[in-house]
Amino acid sequence: MSEQAETQAQESQAVENTEAAAETVVDTVAETVSDAAEAVAETTESTVEAASDAVEAVAEPVADAVEPVVEAAAEPVADAV
Distance (Å, whole) CA 54 – CA 50: 6
Distance (Å, whole) CA 25 – CA 17: 12
pLDDT tens profile 28-45: 999 999 999 999 999 999
pLDDT bin (cut points 50, 70, 90) of residue 25 is: very high
User: Rounded to 5 degrees, what are φ and ψ at 2?
Assistant: -75, 165
- Cβ-proximal residues to 1 (8 Å cutoff; 6+ apart), any chain: 9
Distance (Å, whole) CA 34 – CA 28: 10
pTM of structure: 0.56
pLDDT bin (cut points 50, 70, 90) of residue 62 is: very high
Query: Distance from CA of residue 77 to its chain's centroid?
Result: 51
